[in-house]
Structure formats: C-alpha cells, structure tokens
Structure 1
Amino acid sequence: MKLPESQVAVLQAASANDARSIEQLAAETDLKPETVTGAAFELESAGLVTVEESTDQTVTPTEEAREYLRDGLPEVGLYEAALDAGADADPAQMGQVIGQSGLEGPQVDIALSNYARKGYGTIESGDITADPDADPESDAEYAALAALDAGESVEDENVLEQLESRGLVAISESTVRSVTLTDEGVTAMMEGVETAETVGQLTPEMLTSGEWRDVEFAEYNVEADAERIDGGKTHILRQTANRVKDTLVGMGFEEMEGPHADADFWINDALFMPQDHPARTHWDRFALSNPTEIDDLPEDLVGRVEDAHHNGVGEDGEGYHSPWSEDFARAIALRGHTTSLSMRYLSGHEVGELEPPQRFFSVEKVYRNDTLDPTHLLEFFQIEGWVMAEDLSVRDLMGTFEEFYEQFGITDLEYKPHYNPYTEPSFELFGEHPTTGELVEVGNSGMFREEVLRPLGVDCDVMAWGLSLERLLMLMYGFEDIRDIHGTLADLELLRETEVLH
C-alpha cells in the first residue's frame, strides 16, 4: 500500500492499544499538528485509524484576579472597612466607609456591585451595613481563584461562571483529538506501507515540461477543522457611531468638535443652568484638580450670561436671583453633555459667527456620576444635534427624529413632555425594546430658550437634542444591559459574534 509521507508517519506512530493525541503524534513525527490532523482524517476515511474528539476546558486567572489574590477582593476590603466603621451595629455613611477602605476608581463600583450579592451587608440610600456573621475567609470566589492559581481544578460551575462574568478568569475550550489504529490499520502495517511520492503544489515548470502527467498530487481535506483565529474588529459601538455620522451628514449636518474637559461656563452657565442646580454639585460632576480653571473665556459673553442668570432677558425677563460666581464658571470639569460644543459653536467662539440656516452634530463621549445599572454608565456616547433657522417648531423637531431613527429601523417613537432649564418646550423620546417590549428613553430635546440664545447673539429659532448612542444599540440589537457592550464587564464573545445591522 502506498500512502503520502505524512500519512505513513502518522500510521507508524499510532498505536492499536493506546489512543495518542494529535500533539503526541506531532512531537513523534516532527510534523505540524495541523498536518497530523489532516493525515489522521485521511487515514480514518480509508478505515486505517479512528479519530475520537473531546472538549478540553482551560480556566486561567486574569491579571486582575492575581491582583486580588495579592491584595484581597474589593468587596472584602469594603466589608472590613464597614466593620471598622461600626456598620455591624448601626448603618454607616457609605462615602465615609469607601474612603476608609482605600478603594479607588473602578474598584469602588466592583465592590459595591458584589457586596450585597455575597451577603456581606446592605447598601441603601447612601448608608451601608455589615453582617457580623459574614465570613470573608470562606469566600468561594477567592478560594476558587487561589485554587486555579495553584494549578488545581474548580468543579463548581456557578462560581466559575461568576468569575468569568467579572473578568477574573479566562475560560477557553479546545477540541482534543486522539488517534487509534484499527484492525485494518494493523493489517496494513504488517503487510507493509510505502511512501508515495506526492506533489502538493502545481508549478509552471510542471505545466511546461509535462511532468504533471506523471506525479501523484496530495489530497486535501477541505472539511477539516482549521485553527480558530479571533482577529481584531471595529467595536459595534464605533461601527454604529460611524453609521450615525454618515446618516446625519446625509441629512445635511456638519460635525462639531471640542474639548472633553471644559469650563463650567460652556457646560452649564451658557445653557442657563443655575449654579446652585443639584446637577452642578460635586456629587454629580467630575471636576479637574490640575488645572482647576480656564482663562480663555470671552468677557462680553460672560457678562451677558451672568446678566441673564440674574435678570433674565427682555422686558418681562425673570432670572434666578441666585448667587453666580465667575470663578465657578471658569472651573474645569469633564463635560456632562456635548451641549457644551453647541454653546461654543452657536456663540461664534469656535468657528466664527454663523448665519442661519445651520445644522450641526457631534457623536462624542460624555461623563456623569450616575449609579451603574443596565441603562446607565459613568461615561457614554451622546448624539448631539441642533438646527438654527427661522420659524422652527416642535413639529420640525419631531420630523427630524422620525427621519433619523427610520434609518435604523425604528419607527415607533413616543414623546413625553419634560422640563429642562435650557429648552422650552421640551420632551423626551422613547422607543420600544424589541425583546422586553418596554419603553426605553433614548433622548431629550426641545427648543432653546431665549435666555440661552439672546446672550449668544442668536436671533432665530434653534431646536436641539441629546440622544444616547448606547440606547440606540439596545433598540437595534435587543441588548438588555449596555454593560455587555461597553466598559470593563463587556461580553467579548457577544461583541465578536454580533452581526452588524445595515
């Protein structure tokens, strides 16, 4: 019997008594594993070997997990700080306990999201309690991480699933193939197997000389499994952002650009947001410590905005009659909405004075100190837009939304009247979630008030909106939790497998 060289090598290395893995055969034959796999499948087709498959699972702790093995889980650190604060007897202030715990940045959110789940205590209305009977030393997740780090296996699938959802372990599955000689294979070996001269590639020289007529070509199993390679791809959120930009450009809009960290003047004051508004406290904004303020503000515009806050605009104007500080206006913070860009453009500060009609938009990131849940993150993308023209109405605004969302297959918008300090009338937009059937708020909008436009020097109507890019994705793809697609807990497998909708 004549066989290709690789098949002869695999046949000679295989055993009728012991199943040998592809890796073992590759090491013994000095062939690549994929070459051995192909040869094994060909031999199986000829009845000379059997190929059995099984799935092998590998669980590996991540770098974040090894950090917790060294320093302790964040929720345990929070529990210990709560005990020190006496929260096992009386509720303690959550902010104080977090400060004493030494937790910073993302670890705070991680600790809070796992604290109550593990029964360490409760978190409610800014207070935290500690269960005196909780035992951090028997934490099942920490014990599992320690076992995996020591090379041991963990049998509890629920614990492994929780660790994987937290990004503390990487679970990979691979197909393990083993090869065993059949009776026919043993008989063939006893009768003698010779190596057939085969050619794997047809060359121009073979065609010219006619040699191709006398050679035996190697056979290829096109159905054999290939090695999986997860290449990089554009994140679905970025893909949708680019599609939103293309859609708005197609509707006649121009794109705005501007700083992520900006003066409170552009973020809030120019929007007729009173400086004592709850959304402007240190609890709801991310202030910068270096630098702390901006010098480049147009003095005449600052004066007009301050006057609007104190006295309103026009003969019947009514301001807030509340304290207003230029130092606060100059303070730098991460923008809570991209309307700061709208103020820069409408005022003429960014690109010079604009004459109506004008249409501008941006799709950029904003930052808010919100409570994390399926529809809220600390940072997200906002679709900002505005139209400057004469005699605009709410009907024009609604018509713009109908045209925009129709491009993404969303035609069931609903509207609800709303209050904004900077628009009147104002309304929120809602769309129906394709999976749950619930109404999801997707944006806020309205007509800019005179108290906003007059100080900016705008004499015509301006309709404006701020829409959520992530919630647009929820309506398009049926996602129920935006943390699956955005942030440190993102589901990478979901992002790899989700098809892009057009």
Structure 2
Amino acid sequence: MQLPESQVAVLEAASADEATSIDALAEATDLPPETVTGAAFELEEEGLVEVSERVDETIELTDEGHEYATDGLPEVALYEAALEAGADEEPVSMGQVIGQSGLEGDAVDIALSNYARKGYGSIDSGEITADPDAEPTADAEANALEALADGAVGTDDDLEEVIDQLERRGLLEVVETTTRDVALTDEGVTELMGGIETTETVGAVTPDLLTSGEWETVEFADYNVEADAEDVESGTVHVLRQMSERVKDVLVGMGFQEMDGPHVDADFWINDCLFMPQDHPARTHWDRFAMEEPSHIDELPDQLVADVERVHREGLGEDSEGYHSPWDEEFARALALRGHTTSLSTRYLSGEEIGEIEPPARFFSVEKAYRNDTLDATHLLEFYQIEGWVMAEDLSVRDLMGTFEEFYAQFGIEDIQFKPHYNPYTEPSFELFGTHPTTGELIEIGNSGIFREEMLEPLGVDCDVMAWGLALERLAMLTTGAEDIRDLHGTLADLEFLRNAEVTY
C-alpha cells in the first residue's frame, strides 16, 4: 500500500490500544497539528484509523473577574457602606452611601444594578435601604469568583446557574476546546504489518513547478471536495437596525412623516414643554445625564418660554391650578442628553423646527434616548424609542388604541393589553403590554395618551394630539424571543443569537 509521507507518519505514530490526541501525534511526528489533522481524516476515509472528538470546557476569569475576586464585588461594597451609614434602620441618601463605598465610574452602575437583585436592600427616589439580615459572606457569585481564582470549582447545578450569571456580567469566559483523538483500526494494523510505502505527492502548484515543467511528472495529492469547509461568519445588519427600518416602513405606510433633532437638548424642550414640574423626581441628576460643557443653551423662543412658565405657575382655565412650585428659566436652559424623544415632538408642535404644522398631521421618530436607569433585563442606560403623534380634531382613546392595534399587527402581535396610567403631559394616559413569546410574561412595551391642554396651549396647538413612546428593544424582544435586552446590544450581547434572530415582515 502506498500513502503520502504525512499519512504514513501519522499511521506509524498512532496506536491500536489507546486513542492518541492530535497534539501528541504532532509532537511525535514533528508535523504541524493542522497537517496531522488532515492526514488523520484522510486515513479515516481509507478505514485505517478512527477519529473521535470531544469538547472540553474551561472557565477563565476576565480581568474584571480577577479584580472582583481579589477586592470584592461592587454590590457587596455598597451594602457594607449602607450598613455603616445606618441604612438598615432608615433610608439614607444614595449619594452619601456611594461616597462612603469608594466606588467610582462603572462600578457604581454595576453595584446599583445588582444591589436589589441580590436582596441587599432597596433603592428608591435617590435613597437606599439595607436589609440587616442579608449575608454578603454567603454571596454565591462572590464565593464562586474566589473559588475560580483558586482553581477549585464544583459542578453542581446551583454553581452552573451562578457561572451563567457571572458570564453574563462579563466576569468570566467559558472557553470550549475541541480535542480530536486518533486510534488505529484493525485494518490499519493489518496494513502496517504488511508494510506501507511512502509516495511523494505535491499538495499545491507553485511557480517553480510551472517554470521548471516538473508539474507534468509529479504526483499531486488527492483532494476531498466533499469535506466540510471552515465556517465563516459573515457580517449582517444588526437585528435592532433591521427592526428600526421595519418600524419606519410600517409607520410611513400608515401615513406618518419622520422627525429628527438633537440628542443633547435643553430641559425646556425635554421636560418643561411637556408640563413636567421642575421639582419632578425624574428631573434630578439621578435620572438624567447633564452636560458639563456646554452646560446651557444660548437661545430659546422668548414668548414660548413665557407661556410655558405661565402655565406651570398658574395652570390653564378654571380646572387647572398649575404646580405652584418654583420655575427657573436657568434650569430650563440646562443641557442634558434627552431622556425621551418627546423633545422632538415639542420642537415640531411648537413650529420651531419646520414651521407651523396644520392638522391633520402625523409624525414619528425612531431615535435613541438616555436615562440613568438601573440595569436589568428590560432597562439600559440608552435605548431606542419609537416616538409618534397624530394631530387632528376630536381624537379619542379609541383612535389611539386602534392605531396601536394596526401598528403591532404588522409584527404579528395581536394581544396588546392596556393599563391606565398617569403622566404629567397626557390625560387620559395608558401603558401598553405584550406577552413575551418564550416566558409568557407580560412586559411593558410603551406609554401613551392624549396631550393635555396645559401642554398644547403654550405650543400654539388648538386641536387634539394623541401621542406615544414605544420601546424598540422590547418590540424586538417580542418578535425574536430575546429574554434579556442585554442580549440585543451592549457588552453582554449574545452574538450567536444575533446571527440567527429574524425580524417579522
């Protein structure tokens, strides 16, 4: 029997008594592992060896994981600082506790997002409490990190759940390694005993072979054209981009025009024009991202500012008293990342963006908004909002609900539920909920209502306007089955999921 040199070397190095790994064969034959792998598969085709595969998993801590294994998790540090501040007896200012904890930068957000999840206490309206019965020493994630750093890890189901959570947090990586082993078959042993000759074969046509004319006399190696090719993951349009384009197509098809505007805007356009009182909790530094430089907008329309201030202070008509709370134009001029894209709506409705708009009119945007939220399965610090409004005479809640039913039906969602809600800028108001296709749970997917007269009158609008802000990511969750918003984008995005996710058309 005649075989190429590499195959002969592998056949002679392999054993019939026990399987030998590709790496061990490469060392024994002094051949590259990839050459040994190719030769092994070719020998398997001839029935001379048997190639088996196994997938081994190893767990490796990331740099952040090593840091927390040594210094402790941020949420544990926050809990210990909360105890020192007396938060186990009464709520304490979150700023005070964060200052005592020594946490900075991203560690603060990480601590806040995991604090309540682990039962260390609660965070509400800028104050923090601490559960005196919590046991940081029993923190499963912290203990698992220490065990991994020491190389001592068990395999029980509870630990697997903890490892999954640590992987989602980016504190460890589960590395899969495919190991191939080669063993001689009975036929391979027989052929070896009978003797095998080495044939000189050429694996590729080179310029030297062509110029010398040797290509006419050499023997070329056989190629297995049926062998599996290497998987190549090509680039693709992100599922949120696909969803955004689909939403735009649907809304344009429903007769809407698209709006756009600044991501950084004055609090005046973001909140004051929405009849949001300046002492509203959502307008504190805990919920908004204020700009340091520049810190304030230079110009605002004087008459509109005066009209908005008047309604805030005095209300509108006999049944509206306003807020009787401080109103400061300097605060209204403060710049921040927009917490919702309704700032675009106020700009357009006021006529400041494209001039006066006559009813009937329909506008929308699919743009990014920014909020200092606690990170969880349905909240991120930045997200895409589907903003929309319709200006017409005699609009009702029935019109608003019918619009949503028509819109969501385009995505195969026909079980929308509505719940009454309060907004400073709409009355009546309601939230929208949809059923998650995987978990069966109801998740909030948007907020809506009819704009209040106190908001519309200063803007110069004298007819009805129904409006909404819907969550693009949560629509994507309902259509793709993603259970966590962080699977869609961010540092924890599930790339395998994104490669296979499909947008409903």
TM-score, scaled to structure 2: 0.83
Summarize the Cα distance change of 1:66–1:437 in structure 2 as closer, same or farther, 3 Å threshold: closer
Residue in structure 2 matching 1:330, options 330, 333, 339: 333
2:244 aligns to what SS in structure 1? helix
Residue in structure 2 matching 1:182, options 176, 180, 185: 185
Unaligned 5+ segments in structure 2 are none
Instruction: For residue 13 of structure 1, report the CA deviation from its aligned partner.
Output: 4.2
Q: Does 1:307 align with 2:310?
A: yes
Summarize the Cα distance change of 1:113–1:389 in structure 2 as closer, same or farther, 3 Å threshold: closer
2:383 aligns to what SS in structure 1? strand
CA distance in 2, matches of 1:71, 1:81: 15
Summarize the Cα distance change of 1:230–1:153 in structure 2 as closer, same or farther, 3 Å threshold: farther
2:182 aligns to what SS in structure 1? strand
CA distance in 2, matches of 1:196, 1:283: 74
Matches within 5 A, 1:237-276: 237-276=240-279
CA distance in 2, matches of 1:497, 1:108: 34
Summarize the Cα distance change of 1:160–1:474 in structure 2 as closer, same or farther, 3 Å threshold: closer
Summarize the Cα distance change of 1:136–1:414 in structure 2 as closer, same or farther, 3 Å threshold: closer
The amino acid across from 2:325 in the alignment is S
CA distance in 2, matches of 1:407, 1:458: 31
Summarize the Cα distance change of 1:59–1:231 in structure 2 as closer, same or farther, 3 Å threshold: farther
CA distance in 2, matches of 1:407, 1:212: 64
Instruction: For residue 409 of structure 1, report the CA deviation from its aligned partner.
Output: 0.6
CA distance in 1, matches of 2:86, 2:466: 53
TM-score, scaled to structure 1: 0.84
Summarize the Cα distance change of 1:395–1:116 in structure 2 as closer, same or farther, 3 Å threshold: closer
- Note the alpha carbon deviations across 1:36-69, whole angstroms, 9 max, x for none: 3233122123221122222222322213223335
Instruction: For residue 174 of structure 1, report the CA deviation from its aligned partner.
Output: 1.9
Q: Does 1:343 align with 2:350?
A: no
Summarize the Cα distance change of 1:67–1:239 in structure 2 as closer, same or farther, 3 Å threshold: farther
CA distance in 1, matches of 2:123, 2:321: 39
Residue in structure 2 matching 1:235, options 231, 238, 258: 238
- Note the alpha carbon deviations across 1:355-374, whole angstroms, 9 max, x for none: 34432211222233444443
Instruction: For residue 199 of structure 1, report the CA deviation from its aligned partner.
Output: 6.7
CA distance in 2, matches of 1:317, 1:131: 47
Matches within 5 A, 1:113-262: 114=114, 121-123=120-122, 126-129=128-131, 135=137, 139-147=142-150, 152=151, 154-156=153-155, 158=159, 159-190=162-193, 191-195=195-199, 197=201, 218-220=222-224, 222-224=226-228, 227=230, 232-262=235-265
Contact conserved, 1:38 with 1:220, CA < 8 A, in 2?
no
Instruction: For residue 30 of structure 1, report the CA deviation from its aligned partner.
Output: 6.6
The amino acid across from 1:102 in the alignment is G
Contact conserved, 1:38 with 1:221, CA < 8 A, in 2?
no
CA distance in 1, matches of 2:86, 2:320: 53
What does residue 47 of structure 1 align with?
A: 47
1:294 aligns to what SS in structure 2? coil
Instruction: For residue 218 of structure 1, report the CA deviation from its aligned partner.
Output: 1.4
Q: Which piece of structure 1 moves more, 294-303 or 250-259?
A: 250-259
Summarize the Cα distance change of 1:393–1:85 in structure 2 as closer, same or farther, 3 Å threshold: closer
Instruction: For residue 154 of structure 1, report the CA deviation from its aligned partner.
Output: 3.2
1:306 aligns to what SS in structure 2? helix
The amino acid across from 1:107 in the alignment is A
Residue in structure 2 matching 1:424, options 423, 427, 441: 427
1:259 aligns to what SS in structure 2? coil
2:247 aligns to what SS in structure 1? helix
The amino acid across from 1:461 in the alignment is D
The amino acid across from 1:305 in the alignment is V
Summarize the Cα distance change of 1:374–1:164 in structure 2 as closer, same or farther, 3 Å threshold: closer
What does residue 11 of structure 1 align with?
A: 11
Instruction: For residue 31 of structure 1, report the CA deviation from its aligned partner.
Output: 5.6
What does residue 93 of structure 1 align with?
A: 92
- Note the alpha carbon deviations across 1:301-322, whole angstroms, 9 max, x for none: 1112122223444687653343
- Note the alpha carbon deviations across 1:404-426, whole angstroms, 9 max, x for none: 11111111223333332222333
- Note the alpha carbon deviations across 1:244-279, whole angstroms, 9 max, x for none: 223223333232222222211101111122223333
What does residue 454 of structure 1 align with?
A: 457
CA distance in 1, matches of 2:297, 2:430: 33
Contact conserved, 1:263 with 1:332, CA < 8 A, in 2?
yes
The amino acid across from 1:101 in the alignment is S
Contact conserved, 2:112 with 2:374, CA < 8 A, in 1?
no
CA distance in 1, matches of 2:134, 2:276: 46
Contact conserved, 1:82 with 1:129, CA < 8 A, in 2?
no
1:128 aligns to what SS in structure 2? coil
CA distance in 1, matches of 2:84, 2:462: 60
Instruction: For residue 220 of structure 1, report the CA deviation from its aligned partner.
Output: 1.0
CA distance in 1, matches of 2:420, 2:137: 50
Q: CA RMSD in A?
A: 3.7
Matches within 5 A, 1:346-365: 346-365=349-368
Instruction: For residue 175 of structure 1, report the CA deviation from its aligned partner.
Output: 1.4
Aligned residues: 491
Summarize the Cα distance change of 1:283–1:132 in structure 2 as closer, same or farther, 3 Å threshold: closer
The amino acid across from 1:21 in the alignment is S
The amino acid across from 1:250 in the alignment is G
1:36 aligns to what SS in structure 2? helix
Summarize the Cα distance change of 1:55–1:362 in structure 2 as closer, same or farther, 3 Å threshold: same
CA distance in 1, matches of 2:503, 2:136: 46
Instruction: For residue 128 of structure 1, report the CA deviation from its aligned partner.
Output: 1.5
The amino acid across from 2:436 in the alignment is H
What does residue 64 of structure 1 align with?
A: 64
Unaligned 5+ segments in structure 1 are none
Instruction: For residue 213 of structure 1, report the CA deviation from its aligned partner.
Output: 13
CA distance in 2, matches of 1:352, 1:440: 38
CA distance in 2, matches of 1:70, 1:270: 49
Summarize the Cα distance change of 1:327–1:252 in structure 2 as closer, same or farther, 3 Å threshold: same
2:438 aligns to what SS in structure 1? coil
